[in-house]
Amino acid sequence: MKPNKIITISSIEQFHRWWSFFKEGLEFFRKELRWEKTEIDYYKMLLNVVTADPSDGLVIILIGGTGQPYGYLVAVNNTNPFSKKSCNVYSLYTNNKCPSTFLELSTEAEQWARSYDYQEVQACSHRVNSGAIRWFQKKMKYTSKFMVFTKKL
């Protein structure tokens, strides 16, 4: 059996080739996480990351030995002025066909971040409940830093 491999989406052609898989992730985020992103907004965001300088964003897909995709991760530079250089895991999706998907994608993203001198990796959840907090802390090894509350105007 061939090992998994990670591919970096670095061209518009690659992005279009994998767009249906990215849409699968978006549908999951919208249904399960109550994400309010439209398909066109998600398309624009991912395309922006794919065409950005490689130090400002990363789009990777975990591929199984037979070529089937298992999941993807999108990370973007979100460094605030006068702050530590940090990136945000914008989206992380798995179709649950490989138990190591999150670990493999996260490890690759952390290596990318280190290679561009990022000092911190952040992630946000659209679910604020104890299950989401435990998942980030136990499985992903993140620590909570703050909570953000918003009010629509």
> What CA–CA distance (Å, rounded) separates 104 from 65?
14
Q: pLDDT by residue for the chain (153 residues), tens digit each?
A: 689 999 999 999 999 999 999 999 999 888 877 778 899 999 999 999 999 999 999 999 999 989 999 999 999 998 888 888 988 888 889 999 999 998 899 999 999 999 999 998 876 665 565 555 665 556 666 566 666 665 577
Strand locations in the chain, DSSP E?
Answer: 5-8, 57-63, 69-77, 86-94, 120-123
First-to-last alpha carbon distance for the chain, in angstroms, is: 54
Q: What is the pTM of this model?
A: 0.84
> What domains can you pick out in the chain, each with its CATH number?
5-139 (3.40.630.30)
